[in-house]
Chain A
């Protein structure tokens, strides 16, 4: 191991789901204390901390320090929509890579159970006279009158736009993605839902925003995830067991979307994912064909399809063929979302970017139990935050 590499030494995710009797501090603390325990180090060893919570007040990092240890280290409170957890990881990664410290802590936590629509879910009163307001001089809120602000609708359009560009994608194709992920979640005891659905059940469930039915949408839930990162130089001084379980962060990438026509009319999640994947593969010195598993941002079934293409798992325009050939299934050549994905594992927003990395680490360490992808050596974790931000982490098994 090279001294200037960065490794994940310990990582943990809470059970995702509804935690009625526990708040964000309880969940975040559980994740941090167990990540430290998994790493075999303590809060006193940490040189930096980055924490994310999207739907909360200010200073989640300091609030958590008051629960688990106030040691005076720099703390970064980060938000980047659904890429918040991945952004916290990258902040800690950069601090260690810069040589400023040897250990760092990244955490993401969210309480979202029962939250419903996260955008476009309510409307302001427009009063009794028409009065133009805002940058577009709108006389009433335009959501629902000029297209939709809702996430299920936005991502439905993203999926069908791919269908329009390359042709041949059906409602059933999107539903099959959801069927796969729900089936995968049956093997994941930490998933919010572990229910297997038939294709017919998925297609006949409540329509949220065509073609996304309810089980094809990510599940709002509570949860937290945390990771302890360490420098390669420090790792060399640790026990053989710590070195064996350490996972190399071969690339930690964050991108925003480069301008392209239409990107300010419908969010473009393709350009920045392609950019992040390219940078990640170059940095890690590996290609998509080397990946043993991928956790990608399936916030909706329609989103997963486009990311097969964006991450280079298939040739351009070949996402539907990739799916129909069985490649993203557990038994396929590039298993995607063996955790159950956001659709069934759940999507506590700020925790998601670290939980995806936890899943990959679990397999690289050979600790994934019944859902273990045998012999996994390299994995990729991807998240998208609308607005837009894309996080890609490429992770490799220890050489020991």
Chain B
């Protein structure tokens, strides 16, 4: 298998792909990139934690107008993963309002973005309806 690289560094690849967050050791607030201090309590200590890979759809929009080159329409959404809010696209679904219900159960899924000139395959994530 060729080398792989995640779309963002908070996506961990492997047998069980998942997201990781920096969690404040004092108040538990979670952030998807580094913080000099916690935005909630100003504590300066953080630890890496795994984010739940299943959650519920908190809100969404079906985006029809976006930057040139982006395939539209797509579903932009916020997922509540066991109390941690995650920004994502909803994938493996036809982007129509009747297919999407607020509160529906979804789960993390990954897909290939293709390989670069060095043969490294990029892997992105989204959330798909949980069967």
Residues on A close to B: CB < 8 A?
117, 120-123, 128-130, 132, 135-140, 142-148, 150, 152-154, 156-158, 160-161, 163-164, 171, 206-212, 259, 261-262, 264-266
Contact = CB atoms under 8 A, between A and B. Distances in A.
B126 to A, nearest CB: 8
A266 B78 contact: yes
A120 B77 contact: no
A320 B102 CA distance: 17
Given A137-B9, A161-B78, A266-B85, 19 more contacts: A122-B68, A128-B116, A129-B117, A137-B10, A139-B7, A140-B122, A142-B7, A144-B70, A146-B125, A147-B88, A150-B63, A153-B76, A157-B76, A164-B102, A209-B65, A259-B29, A259-B39, A264-B39, A265-B32
A210 B84 CA distance: 24
Contact of A136 (B10, B40, B66, B120): B10
B14 interface: no
A130 B116 contact: yes
B58 A164 contact: yes
Interface in B94-117: 97, 102-103, 113, 116-117
- Name, among A117, A121, A130, A265, the residue most crowded by chain B CB atoms within 10 Å (CB to CB): A130
From B10, B65, B117, name the one whose CB has the most chain A CB atoms within 10 angstroms.
Answer: B65
Interface in B13-68: 29, 31-34, 39-40, 58-68
B119 to A, nearest CB: 10
A157 B118 contact: no
Contacts of B84: 261
Contacts of B33: 135-136
A333 to B, nearest CB: 29
Contact of B116 (A129, A156, A212): A129
A145 B89 contact: yes
29 contacts: A117-B67, A120-B66, A123-B70, A128-B116, A130-B120, A137-B10, A139-B8, A140-B122, A145-B7, A145-B89, A145-B124, A146-B7, A147-B89, A148-B61, A152-B63, A153-B66, A153-B76, A157-B60, A164-B58, A207-B62, A209-B61, A210-B61, A212-B61, A259-B29, A261-B29, A262-B58, A262-B85, A264-B39, A266-B85
Contacts of A130: 5, 116, 120, 122
Nearest to B101: A164
B5 A164 contact: no
B8 A138 contact: yes
B87 A261 contact: no
Nearest to B39: A259
A82 to B, nearest CB: 19
Contact of B83 (A132, A207, A261, A265): A261
A146 B70 CA distance: 12
A138 B9 CA distance: 7
Contact of A210 (B40, B64, B68, B125): B64
A152 B59 contact: no
